[in-house]
Amino acid sequence: MITCFFGYAAFGLAFGLSLMYLLKRPDAPEKENAFLKLIPESAILDDLSYQMVVIGFLMLTLGIITGSVWAYSAWGRYWGWDPKETWSLITWLIYATLLHSRMIRGWKGKRLAILCIIGFACVLFTYFGVNYLAGLHSYAT
Protein backbone atom coordinates (compact mmCIF):
# COMPACT_ATOMS: atom_id res chain seq x y z
CA MET A 1 0.00 0.00 0.00
CA ILE A 2 1.24 3.45 -0.87
CA THR A 3 0.61 4.78 2.64
CA CYS A 4 3.01 2.19 4.07
CA PHE A 5 5.67 3.23 1.56
CA PHE A 6 5.31 6.87 2.58
CA GLY A 7 5.55 5.78 6.20
CA TYR A 8 8.68 3.77 5.47
CA ALA A 9 10.18 6.78 3.70
CA ALA A 10 9.50 8.99 6.71
CA PHE A 11 11.04 6.35 8.99
CA GLY A 12 14.07 6.26 6.67
CA LEU A 13 14.49 10.01 7.02
CA ALA A 14 14.14 9.72 10.80
CA PHE A 15 16.79 6.99 10.73
CA GLY A 16 19.20 9.23 8.83
CA LEU A 17 18.54 12.14 11.17
CA SER A 18 19.11 9.87 14.17
CA LEU A 19 22.44 8.74 12.75
CA MET A 20 23.44 12.37 12.28
CA TYR A 21 22.35 13.07 15.86
CA LEU A 22 24.60 10.29 17.15
CA LEU A 23 27.48 11.49 14.96
CA LYS A 24 27.11 15.04 16.21
CA ARG A 25 27.25 13.86 19.85
CA PRO A 26 26.02 16.90 21.75
CA ASP A 27 27.73 15.75 24.96
CA ALA A 28 31.20 15.69 23.34
CA PRO A 29 33.23 18.85 22.72
CA GLU A 30 33.05 19.90 19.09
CA LYS A 31 36.25 19.19 17.26
CA GLU A 32 37.61 20.92 14.21
CA ASN A 33 35.88 18.53 11.83
CA ALA A 34 34.50 20.11 8.66
CA PHE A 35 31.93 17.35 8.18
CA LEU A 36 30.48 17.68 11.67
CA LYS A 37 30.15 21.43 11.22
CA LEU A 38 27.83 20.80 8.26
CA ILE A 39 25.42 18.83 10.42
CA PRO A 40 22.72 20.95 12.10
CA GLU A 41 22.51 21.32 15.86
CA SER A 42 21.47 18.31 17.90
CA ALA A 43 18.18 19.88 19.04
CA ILE A 44 17.16 20.49 15.42
CA LEU A 45 18.03 16.91 14.45
CA ASP A 46 16.09 15.56 17.41
CA ASP A 47 12.98 17.60 16.55
CA LEU A 48 13.12 16.74 12.84
CA SER A 49 13.54 13.06 13.63
CA TYR A 50 10.52 13.19 15.93
CA GLN A 51 8.43 14.92 13.26
CA MET A 52 9.38 12.29 10.69
CA VAL A 53 8.44 9.52 13.11
CA VAL A 54 5.04 11.14 13.69
CA ILE A 55 4.40 11.31 9.93
CA GLY A 56 5.64 7.75 9.42
CA PHE A 57 3.57 6.46 12.30
CA LEU A 58 0.40 8.05 10.96
CA MET A 59 1.05 6.70 7.47
CA LEU A 60 1.84 3.20 8.75
CA THR A 61 -1.30 3.24 10.89
CA LEU A 62 -3.35 4.22 7.86
CA GLY A 63 -1.63 1.51 5.82
CA ILE A 64 -2.36 -1.20 8.37
CA ILE A 65 -6.02 -0.13 8.60
CA THR A 66 -6.56 0.03 4.84
CA GLY A 67 -4.61 -3.20 4.40
CA SER A 68 -6.87 -5.00 6.82
CA VAL A 69 -9.97 -3.71 5.02
CA TRP A 70 -8.52 -4.92 1.74
CA ALA A 71 -7.63 -8.28 3.31
CA TYR A 72 -11.22 -8.71 4.43
CA SER A 73 -12.48 -8.23 0.89
CA ALA A 74 -9.76 -10.48 -0.57
CA TRP A 75 -9.47 -13.27 2.02
CA GLY A 76 -12.54 -12.87 4.21
CA ARG A 77 -10.67 -11.79 7.36
CA TYR A 78 -9.14 -8.58 8.61
CA TRP A 79 -6.05 -10.11 10.21
CA GLY A 80 -4.38 -13.45 9.65
CA TRP A 81 -1.09 -13.24 11.58
CA ASP A 82 0.84 -13.51 8.35
CA PRO A 83 4.56 -12.62 8.82
CA LYS A 84 4.11 -9.33 6.93
CA GLU A 85 1.13 -8.39 9.09
CA THR A 86 2.89 -9.44 12.26
CA TRP A 87 6.09 -7.54 11.49
CA SER A 88 4.09 -4.48 10.47
CA LEU A 89 2.47 -4.63 13.90
CA ILE A 90 5.88 -5.05 15.59
CA THR A 91 7.22 -2.04 13.69
CA TRP A 92 4.10 -0.06 14.64
CA LEU A 93 4.54 -1.01 18.31
CA ILE A 94 8.20 0.06 18.36
CA TYR A 95 7.38 3.46 16.91
CA ALA A 96 4.37 3.75 19.26
CA THR A 97 6.80 3.12 22.13
CA LEU A 98 9.09 5.82 20.76
CA LEU A 99 6.24 8.34 20.54
CA HIS A 100 4.94 7.38 23.97
CA SER A 101 8.40 7.73 25.50
CA ARG A 102 8.79 11.18 23.99
CA MET A 103 5.34 12.50 24.91
CA ILE A 104 4.80 10.91 28.32
CA ARG A 105 8.27 10.24 29.70
CA GLY A 106 9.96 13.25 28.09
CA TRP A 107 12.71 11.21 26.44
CA LYS A 108 14.86 13.07 23.96
CA GLY A 109 18.22 12.71 22.36
CA LYS A 110 20.32 9.60 22.39
CA ARG A 111 17.67 7.22 23.74
CA LEU A 112 15.19 8.12 21.04
CA ALA A 113 17.86 8.08 18.34
CA ILE A 114 18.75 4.51 19.28
CA LEU A 115 15.09 3.51 19.43
CA CYS A 116 14.59 5.08 16.01
CA ILE A 117 17.46 3.04 14.59
CA ILE A 118 15.99 -0.15 16.06
CA GLY A 119 12.62 0.78 14.57
CA PHE A 120 14.12 1.25 11.13
CA ALA A 121 15.81 -2.16 11.37
CA CYS A 122 12.28 -3.54 11.88
CA VAL A 123 11.08 -1.55 8.87
CA LEU A 124 13.78 -3.15 6.74
CA PHE A 125 12.87 -6.61 7.96
CA THR A 126 9.17 -5.89 7.40
CA TYR A 127 9.84 -4.80 3.85
CA PHE A 128 12.58 -7.22 2.78
CA GLY A 129 13.01 -9.98 5.35
CA VAL A 130 9.46 -11.33 5.53
CA ASN A 131 9.59 -12.23 1.83
CA TYR A 132 11.70 -15.22 2.84
CA LEU A 133 9.13 -16.44 5.35
CA ALA A 134 6.10 -18.54 4.39
CA GLY A 135 2.82 -16.66 4.24
CA LEU A 136 0.35 -14.86 2.05
CA HIS A 137 2.82 -12.02 1.47
CA SER A 138 5.71 -14.33 0.57
CA TYR A 139 7.06 -13.74 -2.90
CA ALA A 140 10.17 -15.92 -2.64
CA THR A 141 10.43 -19.02 -4.79
Q: Which amino acid is at 89?
A: L
Cβ distance 26 to 42 under 8 Å?
A: yes
Mean pLDDT of the chain: 87
Determine the Cα–Cα distance for residues 101 and 110; give it in Å rounded to an integer: 12
Whole-number Cα distances in Å, 14 to 25, 114, 134, 137: 16, 11, 30, 26
Name, of 4-13, 27-36, 82-91, the range with top average pLDDT.
4-13
Q: Residue 42 — pLDDT band, cuts 50, 70, 90?
A: confident
Cβ distance 119 to 21 under 8 Å?
A: no
Q: Residue 137 — pLDDT band, cuts 50, 70, 90?
A: low
Determine the Cα–Cα distance for residues 32 and 36; give it in Å rounded to an integer: 8
Cβ distance 20 to 42 under 8 Å?
A: no
- In this prediction, residue 45 carries a pLDDT of 92
Q: Return the domain boundaries, the chain.
A: 2-132
